[in-house]
Structure 1
Amino acid sequence: MRDNAPPQQLTFDLPLDPRYGAEDFLVSPSNEEAYALIEAWPDWPDTVFLLRGPPGSGKSHLASIWATRAQAWTVSAADVAGTNVSHLISNGALVVEDVDREAGRDEAALFHLLNLARERRFPVLLTACGPVDGFGLKVADLRSRLRLAPGAEIGPPDDALLKAVIVKLFADRQLGIDTSVVDALALRIDRSLARVREVVAELDRDALGRRRRITRPLALAVLDRMAAADGQEAGQEEDGQEDGDGDRSGAS
């Protein structure tokens, strides 16, 4: 018996370059405080500012907007090392991304950078996901300095922002989308813009591979499939941790 379902099309998972222009940033109550901070430049009351928000919330987008206006360089926290601090401050302004990420972070160099920024009135915008006390900092003076740094926090997206981002991400992929699909996704998707990007990408791949348009049933099916996959991965991680604990217990 022949299967009448349309054949799947070979797809190539080519990542889309995010658009970080000021005109591409969507303002809502969840991010308006952070957006106002960037808009206030250069009338900042301090030289060091900390921009916080969950992954995918728009921190890098806002930092990119400010970097363009301030003609700032953008580096990761792991790029700030004792040998290049003088070079980094030579440009006149700097964005340091992911100061909460411990991998490769040189706390002494970062503290030196912030001290020089204060002395020379050199503006630095720092980004991080959570509160300073969760950064795992070992240098007490750096922890104190960051606690005192003014800044803003981006909160979870509200309904209006969530729907606007869904529409924008589909438009970036040159895909028209029905409002019923947008409403269904906004109702059931995790309150995370990072998750929205994952879901839109998965829907695009699924629709292209099956040569189907994106409908509400397809969107809900993809959400269920992704949730099941996440649950399976979480279960495997827990099993791995239990096995590891058992191995350590047997060896001691």
Structure 2
Amino acid sequence: MRDTAPPKQLAFDLPLDPRYGAEDFLVSPSNEEAYALIEAWPDWPDTVFLLRGPAGSGKSHLASIWATRAQAWTVSASEVNDTNVAHLISNGALVVEDVDREAGRDEAALFHLLNLARERRFPVLLTASAPVDAFGLRVADLRSRLRLAPGAEIGPPDDALMKAVIVKLFADRQLGIDTSVVDALALRIDRSLARAREVVAELDRDALGRRRRITRPLALAVLDRLGEAGAPEEDTEDDAEA
């Protein structure tokens, strides 16, 4: 007998770039202190600020918002070296990402950059995931300078923020989603905005490939496959829509 079932739809992996505009940043108790720091620009009491928070908490998003306002260049800490410090401070403002990463980090160059920033009133926003004492710094003067740097810390996303981010991620893909799906995802995935982005993308691909709408049972099945907490529940809904 001829199989008349519709063919499985191909799901092309076309990831959406993260949106780092000010209008895309969602404020919650976990990040409001850091957001207030960025909003206070240019009325900062110092030239060097340290923005700290766990991976996926929104540090790069806030740094991007500030860079746009301050017309700052953005580099990783590993890109700062003794041959380009003068060039980096020539722009007038700078974001240095991931100063806690040891790979490729030139501590002497970073210390020189921060000294010049203070002398010339040149604003520098630093980002890091770990506390200063966990950076593994060998240059004591740099460690001391960073300990004294004012700044703000972002906490892990709270429930309200996770749910709002998940809704927005689906909306960015022009997908309406039931609150039961949002609740299931927010409850089970790692508290990371980056992880929320990955899971929503995977769910979109899975639903498109299966030609099914996104339901709570489907979401739980995808989470189970991705190794997130919680097991898939029996799908009692008729969600095999084309």
Structure 2 length-normalised TM: 0.90
Deviations along 1:193-247, whole A, 9 cap, x unmatched?
A: 2221111111011011111111000001111111xxxxxx999999xxx999999
C-alpha displacement at 1:105, in angstroms? Answer: 1.0
Q: Does the Cα contact within 8 Å between 1:7 and 1:210 map onto a contact in 2?
A: no
Structure 1 length-normalised TM: 0.87
Moved more, 14-23 or 109-118: 14-23
Q: Does the Cα contact within 8 Å between 1:184 and 1:216 map onto a contact in 2?
A: yes
C-alpha displacement at 1:6, in angstroms? Answer: 5.0
Q: Does the Cα contact within 8 Å between 2:92 and 2:122 map onto a contact in 1?
A: yes
3-state SS of 1:182 partner:
helix
C-alpha displacement at 1:15, in angstroms? Answer: 2.1
3-state SS of 1:164 partner:
helix
3-state SS of 1:180 partner:
helix
> How many residues get paired?
241
1:29 and 1:237, CA in 2 relative to 1: closer, same or farther beyond 3 A? Answer: closer
Deviations along 1:164-209, whole A, 9 cap, x unmatched?
A: 0000111111111111111111122222222211111110110111
Aligned twin of 2:236: 244
3-state SS of 2:125 partner:
strand
Q: Does the Cα contact within 8 Å between 1:11 and 1:205 map onto a contact in 2?
A: yes
Distance 1:140 1:211 in 2: 58
Q: Does the Cα contact within 8 Å between 1:30 and 1:156 map onto a contact in 2?
A: yes
Q: Does the Cα contact within 8 Å between 2:11 and 2:209 map onto a contact in 1?
A: yes
1:251 and 1:20, CA in 2 relative to 1: closer, same or farther beyond 3 A? Answer: closer
C-alpha displacement at 1:19, in angstroms? Answer: 1.1
Q: Does the Cα contact within 8 Å between 1:116 and 1:122 map onto a contact in 2?
A: yes
Deviations along 1:105-137, whole A, 9 cap, x unmatched?
A: 111100100000011110000001111111111
3-state SS of 2:92 partner:
coil
C-alpha displacement at 1:143, in angstroms? Answer: 1.0
3-state SS of 2:238 partner:
helix
Distance 1:110 1:140 in 2: 12
C-alpha displacement at 1:7, in angstroms? Answer: 3.5
- Matched ranges for 1:183-198 at <5 A: 183-198=183-198
Structure richer in helix, relative to its length: 1
**What's the % identity of the aligned pairs?**
90
C-alpha displacement at 1:100, in angstroms? Answer: 1.0
Distance 2:79 2:148 in 1: 23
Aligned twin of 1:163: 163
C-alpha displacement at 1:9, in angstroms? Answer: 2.0
C-alpha displacement at 1:30, in angstroms? Answer: 0.2
Distance 1:251 1:184 in 2: 21
RMSD: 9.8
1:218 and 1:2, CA in 2 relative to 1: closer, same or farther beyond 3 A? Answer: farther
- Gaps (5+ residues) in structure 2? none
1:157 and 1:4, CA in 2 relative to 1: closer, same or farther beyond 3 A? Answer: farther
- Gaps (5+ residues) in structure 1? 227-232
Deviations along 1:59-118, whole A, 9 cap, x unmatched?
A: 111011111111111111111110000000001100001111111111110010000001
1:188 and 1:52, CA in 2 relative to 1: closer, same or farther beyond 3 A? Answer: same
3-state SS of 1:115 partner:
helix
Distance 2:231 2:141 in 1: 40
Q: Does the Cα contact within 8 Å between 2:224 and 2:231 map onto a contact in 1?
A: no
Distance 2:235 2:218 in 1: 37
1:225 and 1:236, CA in 2 relative to 1: closer, same or farther beyond 3 A? Answer: closer
Moved more, 171-180 or 1-10: 1-10
3-state SS of 1:209 partner:
helix
